[in-house]
Structure 1
């Protein structure tokens, strides 16, 4: 287990200096990452741009880049309203999830495919096809599809990578790519994501997961899309604004062989599944890639699968159905 993963998710508890604990664990590990350079050492950092080739260069060099005006005004307005209504509805229904510190000011919305057509439509945004195939190859799918509403008083979170849960660690190449859609103007004050530039290159990791030293922050106008790969060290920034909130939507895609965080084939409702296009179903893990993802045995590559109406069950030797009880073995 990567020691930073264990520490971040409380699988490893320690007393005393957590930085010394991390470095001690590094000394025992075959992977010993170096401390990242300070963001002030760079001559330039990525800025929002409509030039997609520049965004590609930024992602390659820094691990992240910004697409300016990625959402049209109608798309932005529709997503803003749908997310606001969903957040208020979940809070009123008593099913909301809050975090961000002792007072839990942040609200997270999970499993967005179930939460509105606007979120389903975003799965077919041109930027998905623009970036995912060349980075993740064929058969990529969502690991998670969520929203994070960062509100004033948030403490932020510890530094992590979206690839930190892959064990054993594979730092040599990206297993995922994230699209973060800004639904408001995002800046340092209202909790822009903290990022360690170029921390995707080589064996680089922070010594202290709860120290933002050396980081920059994701900043851009509403409608911007932040593209960042899964090895970049980052964290939700503290929101020190006097009012308002910072809502963003996160589409985290992974390579076809990576187990997703959200099991969409179980969590997506039949009603939503019935109106999903093939691209939406691929995003949610319904597509067979190579020999993975079949139902009732092998299915050809590219098949969009569904729950079988009549699955093969336990049978007697004469072909009749048998009851299944506890084995005596």
Structure 2
């Protein structure tokens, strides 16, 4: 059944029914500083802890940047031509999203082995982390943006005191407020904080950085795709959302990634796509030692007769 009425009142009503009662976010004008792009990884980690996000400058080399720009552009045009493209961003749907990037080119597989993954993800999410989603968002002029949300909002039971995921957002062009830089509520990851109106970006800041920057932000941070008021151009970004080993992913990569892609993927990519056993989770045909990389069994044990033959 489709709901009618004021969506903002509906959100407030749902909040009142929740056992968790969030407080209003602080005024960001009171902050002495906000995170800025830097090549100092330790500073980015400090920003992530204090603000819920940080920026790694020059995360992609010019060569890596060019390769990813070209592959994403070709893929986007190809999906339009094939009639399988997905659009959103308001009534006119100017934005294009590309899903399940492991299937879309070696360039995207290679990005799963980028050094930043090892520098941030294991320390933040622990052993056995995997991807929840791996997508691209091409934000174009006219986009109305999104409502404010957290990437942990769909995980039940709600555990706002504990981060379950971490995002790596790769800027494939210069990103700023005008071309739809992600809107952010700094420090909204700490404590029980939520915006007063998820449909209003007043009081937020925006992600800004040169092409090649990586925005690192955790799953409890309130954020949204920003409205794109630029006259031309587009704002393509790639998003890798990693989660703890026990969180079910948004994309079921073990089914959606083709066997041909899995066969050529690195160990890091296979772990990211969910092919690694962690503790007693993720095994195939029963127990497998922790850390084992598994595949679909070629000869699974089926229903058998007492003599061992197939039923």
3-state SS of paired residue (2:47): helix
8 Å contact from structure 1 (residues 139, 289) kept in 2: yes
Deviation at 1:21, TM superposition (A): 3.1
| Residues in 2 aligned to 1:127 and 1:14: alpha-carbon distance in whole angstroms | 44
Q: Which runs of 5+ in 2 are unaligned?
A: none
Question: Given the alignment, which residue of 103, 123, 140 partners 1:134?
Answer: 123
CA deviation map 1:44-82 (0-9, x unaligned)? 100000111110110000000000000000000000000
Aligned to 1:19: 8
Structure 1 partner of 2:277: 288
1:281 partner SS: helix
Quote the residue 1:298 is aligned against.
Answer: 287
Q: Paired residue for 1:178?
A: 167
Matching residue of 1:8: none
C-alpha separation in 2, matches of 1:13 and 1:283: 37
Q: Distance in 1 between matches of 2:65 and 2:228?
A: 22
CA–CA distance in structure 1, aligned partners of residues 231 and 239 of structure 2: 25
TM-score, normalised by the number of residues in structure 2 = 0.98
1:265–1:284 contact (8 Å) kept in structure 2: yes
Aligned residue for 2:260? 271
- CA-to-aligned-CA distance 1:80-100 (integer Å, 9 cap, x gap): 000000000010110111111
Pick one of 243, 251, 260 that aligns with 1:262. 251
1:151-179, CA deviations, whole angstroms, 9 ceiling, x for partnerless residues?
00101011110100111101111100000
Q: Distance in 1 between matches of 2:272 and 2:101?
A: 12
1:233 aligns with 2:233: no
1:207-218 matches, within 5 Å, as: 207-218=196-207
Please list the CA deviations of residues 287-324 of structure 1 after superposition, one character each: whole Å capped at 9, or x if unmatched.
Answer: 000000000001000000000000011122332222xx
Q: Tell me how far apart the structure 2 counterparts of residues 277 and 57 of structure 1 sit (CA, whole Å).
A: 30
Aligned to 2:21: 32
| Residue of structure 2 equivalent to 1:325 | none
Residue of 296, 303, 310 corresponding to 1:314: 303
1:220-276 superposed Cα distances (whole Å, 9 cap, x missing partner): 000000000000000000100000000000000000000000011111111111111
For the residue of structure 1 that corresponds to 2:67, the secondary structure is helix
Q: Which residue of 2 aligns with 1:80?
A: 69
Would you say the 8 A contact 1:22–1:207 is kept in 2?
no
Write out aligned runs for 1:33-182 (5 A): 33-182=22-171
Q: Following TM superposition, by how much is the alpha carbon of 1:27 offset from its aligned partner in structure 2, in angstroms?
A: 2.5
Question: Structure 1 residue 12: deviation in Å?
Answer: 8.2
Residue 180 to residue 121, structure 1, CA distance change in 2 (3 Å) = same
TM-score, structure 1 normalization: 0.92
- Residues 125 and 254 (structure 1), Cα distance of their counterparts in 2 relative to 1, 3 Å cut: same
